[in-house]
Structures are given as structure tokens and as C-alpha cells.
């Protein structure tokens, strides 16, 4: 497959959805999404659709991933510092983050997916990406504080551990169930004077769970 041209078409479509951050667009162009999906689904790798990756999980739509990454990088032209990703999944978003941050810690609670993402990412040789197996709801205190935290699963609220591990001046982007009972994209900014929470559009992510499996 002429993946570069197909990827360029995907990036143009995402630009058409309003994504403008140059770093995010460059990462989407450079990371080969087809390396993260099962061979039977390779023809759909660059469509703006979520795809199954096994164990009841999915690889998110590229458009949604781009939206969350742009929110994370908003107002910045330089790279993010240390970033924590909750839910490695197949490793696609972790690979994108490695282009946007100086250091990335990505944690996955399902052993099968942790191993799959390690296999998928080996080809890319990303020296600034650390894959962890563990309970993402607890975050990863050893790497804290983080300039940014991003989650690929939505719970009833944002776990306190994540807020604690966010640096002052840092930003968290995650799906969460809001007071209206729907899952929305939530942005949390940790300012010197406290927490600012902004609820954005409705989204549909797999549920956030605790423990490992």
C-alpha cells in the first residue's frame, strides 16, 4: 500500500475538521497507523474510524486522537515536557505523543495489549517512550509531575491521582461522564491558583477500569 499518500489524504481530512497545530499534523503524517491494526483491517487503517484491536478495546478515530492531541498542545509551538498516557492500547497514540513530547510514559492495564503495543512499537525505535504495565487509574507517581496527561478511556470522573501528578501549568485531556450523565471530552488545567475544568463535546470511549488483567 502506498501508505504515505493515503496518510496525507487522512491528514488533509483531519485538517478539514479544524485541526491546525503543525506538530500534531506532522506527527499524523509521519506515524504509520497501518502498523497498529490487524492485517485484515489494514485497508481501513487511514479511514477516520475506530477499529477493534482485541480484548474488547479499539484504536480511536484519527480525528478524535488529533483533537485530543491539539488540546494538549494548545498555545505551544515547542515540545511538551514529560507526558503520561493512560491506556496504551495498540500503541498508536503513544507513537504520536513521542513526536510531541520530550518524554512519554504510557501505561496499559491489559497484559495482552501491553505486549501487543511493545511489539507494534519496536519497529519505530522511540527512545523517549516508556511502556508500563499497570493500573492507569493510579497514574505513574515515579514519573510525576507531568506537563500533560491524556487518557484513552472514560470514567465517572477524573481520578484524583491524575490531578495530583499533573504539574502546575500542566493540562489533562480525558473523556469523563459529566453531570448530565453523558461522556464528554474534559480539559483540566492546573493553574497556580487552582484547577480549571472545561467540558467540551460528547465522545464515546471504552470505560476506564481499575486493576490489571
HSE, CB side, 13 Å, CA atoms: give it for residue 145: 11
The model's pTM is: 0.96
207: in domain: no
Total domain count for the chain?
1
Catalytic residue among 60, 98, 106, 117: 60
pLDDT of residue 1: 53
CATH of the domain at 16: 3.40.50.150
User: pLDDT tens for residues 131-174?
Assistant: 999 999 999 999 999 999 999 999 999 999 999 999 999 999 99
209: in domain: no
208: in domain: no
Domain ranges, residue 92: 3-202
67: in domain: yes
Active site residue 210: no
> What does the DSSP assignment read for 141-156?
GGG-SEEEEEESSBBS
Amino acid at each position: 500500500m502506498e501508505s504515505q499518500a493515503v496518510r496525507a489524504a487522512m491528514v488533509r481530512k483531519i485538517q478539514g475538521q479544524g485541526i491546525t497545530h503543525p506538530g500534531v499534523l506532522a506527527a499524523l503524517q509521519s506515524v504509520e497507523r497501518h502498523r497498529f491494526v490487524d492485517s485484515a483491517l489494514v485497508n481501513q487503517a487511514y479511514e477516520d474510524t475506530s477499529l477493534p484491536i482485541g480484548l474488547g478495546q479499539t484504536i480511536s478515530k484519527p480525528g478524535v486522537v488529533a483533537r485530543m492531541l491539539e488540546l494538549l498542545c494548545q498555545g505551544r509551538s515547542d515540545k511538551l515536557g514529560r507526558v503520561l498516557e493512560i491506556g496504551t492500547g495498540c500503541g498508536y497514540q503513544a507513537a504520536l505523543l513521542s513526536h510531541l513530547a520530550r518524554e512519554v510514559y504510557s501505561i496499559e492495564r491489559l497484559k495482552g495489549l501491553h505486549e501487543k503495543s511493545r511489539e507494534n512499537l519496536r519497529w519505530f525505535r522511540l527512545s523517549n517512550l516508556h511502556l508500563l504495565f499497570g493500573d492507569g487509574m493510579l497514574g505513574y507517581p515515579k514519573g510525576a509531575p507531568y506537563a500533560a496527561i491524556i487518557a484513552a478511556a472514560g470514567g465517572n470522573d477524573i481520578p484524583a491521582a491524575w490531578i495530583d501528578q499533573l504539574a502546575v501549568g500542566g493540562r489533562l485531556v480525558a473523556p469523563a461522564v459529566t453531570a448530565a450523565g453523558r461522556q464528554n471530552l474534559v480539559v483540566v488545567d492546573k493553574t497556580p491558583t487552582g484547577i480549571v475544568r472545561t467540558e467540551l463535546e460528547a465522545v464515546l470511549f471504552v470505560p476506564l477500569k481499575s486493576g490489571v488483567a
